[in-house]
Chains A and B, each alone.
Chain A
Amino acid sequence: MKKELTFTLNGEAITAEVDPKWTLLYLLREVLDLTGTKEGCGYGECGACTVIIDGRAVNSCLFPVMEAEGRSITTIEGIGLKDGSMHPLQTAFIDEGAVQCGFCTPGMIMSAKALLDANDKPTEEEIKDAIEGNLCRCTGYVKILDAIKSAAGGR
């Protein structure tokens, strides 16, 4: 039943053997050990599993792995800068106090990155639109908004 799949993962071409019934999240976490992408619910209702596919934020828990073929996929592990330093969003999340338990953080950062890649001067409303599908129980979201604003402003 296994199928061979080729796609771009965090900027590098990759070929993986997959079972067609897998979700992209399963491939990332269980097979490729990219555990930065979290599963919070498995139903697309919390956003902890958010990755960027061809420039758009997507719930990887609902994404059939077979659709990854030929696409470009970015996970939290792949957004650091070439010199090894963190992405400005990661730095901003840390500095602004936007991280508490941290379980929502990778998904939240990926949603924010998809926004900033397309719109480097977002309004507060646009930021809220971008992360409305990312639940956070710790922070009350305020410092997350601060972090995204700060990362956008610093560009």
Chain B
Amino acid sequence: MTGYEYYKPKTIEEAIKLMGSLEGARYIAGGTDVMVLLRQKKIAPRCMISLRNIADLTRIDIKDGLRVGSAVTHSAIEENEHIKKRYSALNDATTHLGSRQIRNVATIGGNICNAAPSADTACPLLVLDARAIIAGPKGAREVDLDDFFLGPGSTALEKDEIVKEFVMPPFDENTGSAYIKHTRRQAMDLPILGVAARITISVKDESEVRCRDMFCTIDSISNILSRLKEEGLKCEDARIAMGVVAPRPIRAKKAEAALKGKIVSPELFEEIGNIAAGEAQPRDSIRGEAWYRSEMIRVLTKRALIKAIDRVIRPDEAIYPERLW
């Protein structure tokens, strides 16, 4: 292996400048993907430009929404109580990615910029309406995350550009989100597929949801949905995103539209699952068969949505009956 020089810029500007001036350079953040590619000899950079030591990239800011620097580690996100509560889907993803050791160094920017269809944080960021703030030689720009992914390993980033941070709007107390990662093992695994959902709900006459206790039982999803229907629980807004079922993480926009403004019911959720499955193009791979992935979109879309609803109804409850999720 021919070696490389290793640069550790302290500012974004310095990093971009280095990238522009060095031959065969490559950015590296946590390195959990780059170091693997190196060992597999899939890349042979002449220079590495580390983003790990740039203070501006490692901040989490919770004023007026959420801003997460691209070099923030998964562990740092996982440990942020505000994110856990208000941006739960992102917490779900960061707590289930790789292992403790990986999460301690792997960054959200790395996870997104690799643009793997299986990137765990991609679906949550999509449903949380994230935008990527990009810095580059020509200045800063913003890209909606839905426009960021172009295909496997391909993003909207242009030459020498860096994602500075991800920005998400504030969500009120009637909004909840969740990400379900479907895996073969309970740790150290890539998803067979992943589904994230965000939902904003309202209840008739703004009364309390009376069936909240049902969520801590092992009752079936359809029974819970029937009760919610009786109480007139309405979906004001929704986002659904899916990973590993298309060349890039995608939104299920038709399913979102079909859900918006409706009173939830078992039939509706069944339909939403089917619509979402129709929006995917899963393939067979050693990690999962296409038919199974399609089938699981139906199941996990329902489950992600109901988990998101649960987080609105029982914001402080940590008990989830295992059978349900």
Contact = CB atoms under 8 A, between A and B. Distances in A.
B6 interface: yes
Contact of A64 (B31, B99, B186, B187): B31
A61 to B, nearest CB: 8
Interface in A1-33: 1, 3, 19-21, 23
Interface in B208-229: none
A23 B35 contact: yes
Contacts of B32: 44, 59, 62
Mostly helix, strand, loop or mixed at chain A's interface?
mixed
Interface residues of B, number: 26
A133 B36 contact: no
A23 B100 CA distance: 19
Nearest to B8: A66
Contact of A21 (B4, B99, B101, B188): B4
A45 interface: yes
A110 to B, nearest CB: 9
Interface stretch (A50-58, A79-87, A88-96, A144-152): A50-58
B5 interface: yes
B266 interface: no
B36 to A, nearest CB: 5
A132 B187 contact: yes
A58 B36 CA distance: 15
Contacts of A129: 100
Given A21-B4, A62-B32, A62-B35, A133 B50 contact: no
Contacts of B104: 56-58
A21 B35 contact: no
Contacts of B83: none
B60 interface: no
Contact of B188 (A56, A58, A67, A133): A133
A59 B102 contact: yes
Given A20-B3, A21-B4, A132-B187, A58 B101 contact: yes
B98 interface: yes
B1 A21 contact: yes
B3 A44 contact: no
Given A66-B8, A66-B50, A132 B1 contact: no
Contacts of A62: 31-32, 35-36, 105
Query: Which of B5, B35, B50 has the most A CB atoms < 10 Å from its CB?
Result: B35
A74 interface: no
Nearest to B3: A21
Interface in B98-144: 98-102, 104-105
A17 to B, nearest CB: 14
B189 to A, nearest CB: 10
B48 interface: yes
Interface of A: 1, 3, 19-21, 23, 42-45, 47, 50, 56-59, 61-64, 66-67, 69, 111, 114, 128-135
- Nearest first, the 4 A-B pairs at minimum CB distance are A133-B99, A132-B187, A20-B6, A66-B6
